[in-house]
A and B are shown apart, each in its own frame.
Chain A
Amino acid sequence: MGLTFPYTYISCPCSDGSKEIEESRLRPAPLFHKKALAEEPEEDDEEKEEAPFDAHHPRASFSLFPPEHLLYCEECRDLKCPRCSIEEQVSHFCTSCLFETPASAVRSEGNRCARNCFNCPICFSQLSVNNINGAGKEGPWILNCYYCMWTSLDIGIRFDRPTNIRAQLDRIANGGKPKAPSKPTETPDLARRSSYLNHESYPQLSATTNNPPPTQQDDSPKETPLDPAARFTALKAFYKNQLTTTTAANPTHPSISSDFSYSSPASLNRILNLYSTSGSFQPKRKPKPQLMREALYPSEGLLIPSPDAATSTQTKLLSSPTGGFINTTTLSQRHFQTGPAGGNPDARFVDELRPMPAPLTTKRAKRCKECRHILVKPEAKPTSTRHRIKLVALSYIPHVSLRPLLGTSAAGGGASTSSAPSALLYGGDVILEPARPTQWILKLTNPLFDAVRVSIATPAVTPGKYGHRVTILCPQFEIGANSDVWEEALGSKSSDAGGSAGKISGSGNGGVAEAGKVYEKGRNWTSVAVEVVPVSITQPIVEAADKEEIQVREVDEDEDVLEIPIRVRLDWRQGDLDDGANKKARLNEDGVEDGVRELAYWMVLGVGRVKK
């Protein structure tokens, strides 16, 4: 993974990963420690929370998120990652025509645009509706792909009107003939036939499955062949019907009844029969079991391939004037045909493919998984990019930046960090010299309109395989409110002038990396100094080499990255809201009536790579 330094990730404690990390840290604890935990559960919590986050733990990345991916729930007063928020659809719309489809119609339209938006079955790009000659206002009209030059004429389809193409297409089969409806309608013919077929007096059909009755041959030209979906439904209906009739005929026979739904009359009948006859095993006079028969007619879903189908496929494949293998479909083309919108996923040749209506897209709202409050809600209109509600974490938690401290205050710091700025500038790797102390400026910028008290804590030695020493020189400080820049600049010009001058000078000489002191402070930001002493990561390799000469352990990918886990604790007093209801709600809160907000989380700060 390409890392650009410095970076920050924030851990959401919802994942099993973060829990496991905590547990694994607690596991090696001695026995008395466990006892102590049992005695004082409060301290247990406290200690658990204080167990430093190991950024190099194998499961750490499952709980780490970039700050911009996080949301903030006002009710739970906690950060919410994508995993602890749930999504719900606000609206469905087509990305090509930007028309919204009402939720009630989405399903019946197969999740696809019901207008004139289609995708090319060959190259999947958008199709346009054109006059057959390219220009002109009279039909016939065709669908045209400007990329791969596919037209609906390739599959023999043209349209009478340039509007409502989807409805027109649903009625035309490839080749231009009218298409059988996808949903087989119970034709009177079918109903009649099925009724007499089920009749006892009808000659035993199971024996004659191979040669259908000659009378049907006369009917067959009239019947339009069903399309695959319709044939499937017809077959399903047919066999269901067969099962119920045969089961009804001999209800004690369990193997036949594969209709498992107990609510069906046939099954109920069977169960009742079981109970009524279970006491006496005396066999009743069994009626001759009625056998199931197979589908015999096209209306039942039977499809007899024409005798020359195989040879015609072969000639189609092998003859070069028709294109041969060029005209076979690819896997992705067949995959594109799926869905309940009239595609042909079994197409073997490109002339069997259908143009596919453009799939719909959704706008989604996000809710908190715990309290179900809405965190993000976009406007339903497809053309709008605005949100009604958008509680992103970035407008609550301070933005963190890190830069190397240039200067001579740290022993040897200047030399090692001198390369860092250029690396930062060009987005390259920041290389840290092992065992050489470096100083960094950690700057936190407040997005809130209230001043925030911050305490940041880090383990003195980073957890994990390599314990780098980290010291935050000033762990507790305050960040000013993110008030209006102009208000401050214009309103208190005279008083602030000295302050801002001080700030400016602060970056020059006032900023001193001293323990317990803030390095620099501005309107809504504060920076503190952090001292880092990386440990050499090559040491274990040397040891291994001592034991076994050749075996040199490779340093794992990104194992050399120095990451500092920082526990951030924020608390602020929410400013007066003019909304009375909101204030009331706050007052009703248990004990917390003054609008005090607290937030604590683990943050991982990537500083750079340690030199190998």
Chain B
Amino acid sequence: MASSASLPTSFSKEAQPRVEPAAGPSNVVPTTRPPLEVHPTAHLDPQAYIQGTSTITLGPNVVIHPRARLVSVHGPLTIRAGTVILERCVVGGPVPDPKEPLPPPPEAPVNTVVGQNVLLQASAEVRAGAFLDEACLIEPRAVIRRGVHIGKHTKVCAGCVVDRSVRDWTVLWGDGQTRRLRTGAIDPEDGRLKALEIDRESTAGLLTVAAAKATLGKRRA
């Protein structure tokens, strides 16, 4: 099993201090719902699927949409501030077989980190052990493989399967091997991030209201 040490050395220095080690309590009683550390400003939708044994940490202003799937079977999951994870995304996969009981926590857990202000669009998949640096944009059905480091402000276009690390400010498209560097994109990128923030706040509000109404309705029923 690859640990976080398999990340490129230049990044592991930065990455390691922020990643919390595998949480202790989950080792004692393996429940279906893993220990959660959710920041009060984060929105974890009640309809999101959560599965695993290690800790899942959600930073401030994180929005997890309904039907997104967070899996901490292979190791702890850290999702940093301002990240948005849309429907049917899988973070920390592959998803364990639902017919079988959850495996015990792995001996060498791998850290999965999704950095700040990342946007995972619908059905994107981030495998366990991947590291997404800040302000990445992962488009629908793209797959980030285990142990891959995605640099800052990188865009992975729809359907790309990324199996090797990518430097900052890169765009991947086509078969995942066609790439370019974004050289003059600082100003538009600022604009994009601002728009993302506005969008995130409004959807978070909507989802909170919707979730509250749903629970209220359930209680009445």
Q: B-contacting residues of A (Cβ < 8 Å)?
A: 122-123, 130-135, 142, 144, 147-151, 153-156, 323, 326-327, 350-351
B191 / chain A contacts, CB cutoff of 8 Å: 130-135
User: Would A154 and B185 count as touching, CB distance under 8 A?
Assistant: yes
Does A327 contact B188, Cβ atoms closer than 8 Å? no
Interface check B217, CB cutoff 8 A: no
Flag whether B180 is at the interface (Cβ < 8 A).
yes
Q: Given that A148-B171, A148-B173, A149-B171 are contacting pairs, would A154 and B187 also be in contact in the complex, using a CB cutoff of 8 Å?
A: no
Contact A148 B195 (CB under 8 A): no
A251 nearest CB across to chain B (Å): 57
Q: Hey, which chain B residues are within 8 Å of A327, CB to CB?
A: 180-181
B157 with A148: CB separation less than 8 A: yes
Minimum Cβ distance to chain A for residue B6 (Å):
22
Q: Which residues of B contact A151 (CB under 8 A)?
A: 184-185, 188
Which residues of B36-64 are within 8 A (CB) of A?
none
- Bin chain B's interface residue count: 10 to 19
Q: Are A149 and B155 in contact (CB under 8 A)?
A: yes
- Asked if A133 and B155 make an inter-chain contact with CB atoms under 8 angstroms apart, the answer reads no
Within 8 Å CB of B182, what residues of A? 149-150, 154
> What sequence of 0s and 1s flags, for each residue 157-172 of chain B, a beta carbon within 8 Å of any chain A beta carbon?
1000000000000010
Contact B188 A144 (CB under 8 A): yes
Count of inter-chain pairs, beta carbons less than 8 A: 60
Chain B residue numbers with a CB within 8 Å of A350 are 180
Contact of B213 with A by CB under 8 A: no
User: Which residue of A122, A132, A155, A156 is within 8 Å of B180 (Cβ)?
Assistant: A122
A326: chain B residues at CB < 8 Å are 179-181
- Chief secondary structure at chain B's binding surface: mixed
Interchain CB contact under 8 A, B188 and A147: no
Q: Which of B179, B181, B188, B194 contacts A130 (CB 8 A)?
A: B188
The answer to whether A154 touches B183 (Cβ under 8 A) is: yes
> Which residue of the partner chain A has the closest CB to B158?
A147
B180 CB contacts on chain A under 8 angstroms: 122, 148, 150, 326-327, 350
Query: Does A153 lie within 8 Å of B157, measured CB to CB?
Result: no
- The answer for the CA separation of A26 and B195 in the assembled complex, in Å, is 76
What string of 1s and 0s marks CB contacts (under 8 Å) between B177-219 and chain A? 0011111110110111011000000000000000000000000
Contact partners of B187 in chain A: CB under 8 A: 132-133, 153
Chain B neighbourhood of A149, CB < 8 A: 155, 171, 182, 185, 188
Residues of B within 8 A of A122 (CB): 180
User: In the complex, A156→B185 CA distance in Å?
Assistant: 10
Across the A-B interface, the 3 shortest Cβ-Cβ residue pairs: A134-B191, A153-B184, A133-B191
Bound-state Cα–Cα, A326 to B195, Å: 29
Bound together, the chains give a CA A341 to CA B54 distance in angstroms of 59
Instruction: Take A123-B173, A142-B188 as given contacts and tell me if A134 and B195 are in contact as well, using a CB distance cutoff of 8 Å.
Output: yes
Q: For residue A348, give the distance in angstroms from its CB to the closest CB of chain B.
A: 15
Q: Which among A148, A154, A327, A351 has the greatest number of chain B C-beta atoms within 10 A?
A: A148
Which chain B residue lies CB-closest to A133? B191
A193 to chain B, nearest CB (A): 39
Contact of A133 among B157, B171, B183, B190 (CB under 8 A): B190
